[in-house]
Amino acid sequence: MLRAVIAVVACAQVAVAFNVGGSLPSLGLRHASASSILTQGRQRKTLTLANNKRAAQSLQSAAADSATTVAREAKKGRGQLRARPIGVGHAAPEVSISNADMEKIVETTGEWIQSRTGIENRHVLRGKETLRDLAIKAGKAAIKDAGINAEDIDLVIVATSSPDDMFGDAPSVATGVGASKNAFAFDLTAACSGFLFATVTASQFLNNGGHTTALVVGADALTRWVDWTDRNTCVLFGDGAGAMVLTSTEATEEGGILGFEMHSDGAGYCNLQLPYEQSDRAVGPEHSVIEGKYTPIGMNGKEVYKFATREVPEVIEEALANAGLTTDDVDHLLLHQANIRIMEIVAQRLGIPMEKVIHNLEEYGNTSAASIPLALAEAVRSGRIKKGDVIACAGFGAGLSWGSTIMRWG
């Protein structure tokens, strides 16, 4: 809505400038003196500047009116929740594959990868390492950072699309971090939006008063599912895990989840998928059953790019409206770490300078559900994010799914 208002006012400003400065007086110009022409030119210039100034003021006023309208349209139940983030941690495999290494694996160059994605390196599981190990390590780091006992945790959500066990990793992760048997745990699958969706889900449990402390983990190992001969996808993904501890609060005003918004659109499923490929298997002389396997990740990069740059700014604005805030209130912009170009476009469309954008995809690549908490953990550990800072987060990816949370840290 705001961008539409800006576009209309900007067009009006251009029209005013053209009509005033571009048209000539219809009477007496042919015989006018040089001094009169100069005087008329000055008058037109002064009038143009005055109109430009008024147009700029109208633009500011329209933007303010639009922001107020958006705030009035905040959706009920999607504002501040009684849940506060208090600790964060991360983990990544020791082995990494650099862009120089990728040149030996697939036909590409490091410069091509870096210039188009911003990625320079990615960490990968190998040998006996498991995703569950990474998730537990990240969870323990988050619990330590929060300064709580693991027994205090009564909810664990693991967001992943690549679990070690198809039945789910969350119960094993809960046990691995030392959570008591009173805690309940489950997996949540929403691909690259998973951590954000899991954060909102956990916050709802804390907000309703039934639970007090939650551990939310984002963990993925999508290098298990890439086609290493496809240079358009294999260069993008890495493995990792990130985790965050949230605690319930007595009053809504104390909550750190200030607002949120989430969407999905299955019509875009074909643009980013990891599908099951099935076949028939004979069982006895009269019957057959379905069996098969998952195929490598398939992605239409152009369409995913268009989707992300179109929808992510919108959903962040929606979440800000639900929080009763504007982009001026944002201290940090933290997006799913997919592509630096997407981050630049989203920041530009929101009017947020790149200095406020948190990114570490150059080191880790796209770690799917792990990317937001992994980047968050490094920013908190380095001191870049401080207690009280407002962070606008957005996840987006397969499904297609996308969403945003506005979070006050600590």
Which residues are part of the catalytic machinery? Answer: 192, 336, 366
Report CA 405 to chain centroid distance, whole Å: 9
Give CA–CA dist 333/355, Å, rounded: 9
Closest CA to 209 of 241, 240, 248, 237: 248
If 0-12 CB within 10 Å is exposed, 13-18 middle and 19+ buried, where does residue 361 land? buried
User: For strand 332-335 and strand 298-299, is the pairing parallel, antiparallel, or unpaired?
Assistant: unpaired
Residue whose token pair is 């499923």: 269
Asked if 246 contacts 214 with a C-beta cutoff of 8 angstroms, the reply is yes
Residue whose token pair is 């984002």: 218
Instruction: Give the helix/strand (H/E) hosting 106.
Output: none
Q: At what angle do helices 194-207 and 371-382 cross, to 10 degrees?
A: 80
77: how many CB neighbours lie within 10 A of its CB?
10
Closest CA to 347 of 397, 294, 285, 392: 392
Closest CA to 293 of 278, 282, 281: 278
Amino acid at 6: I
Residue 292: both structure tokens together: 């098969």
Amino acid at 210: G
Tell me the residue ranges of DSSP E strands in 94-206.
96-98, 121-123, 155-159, 184-188
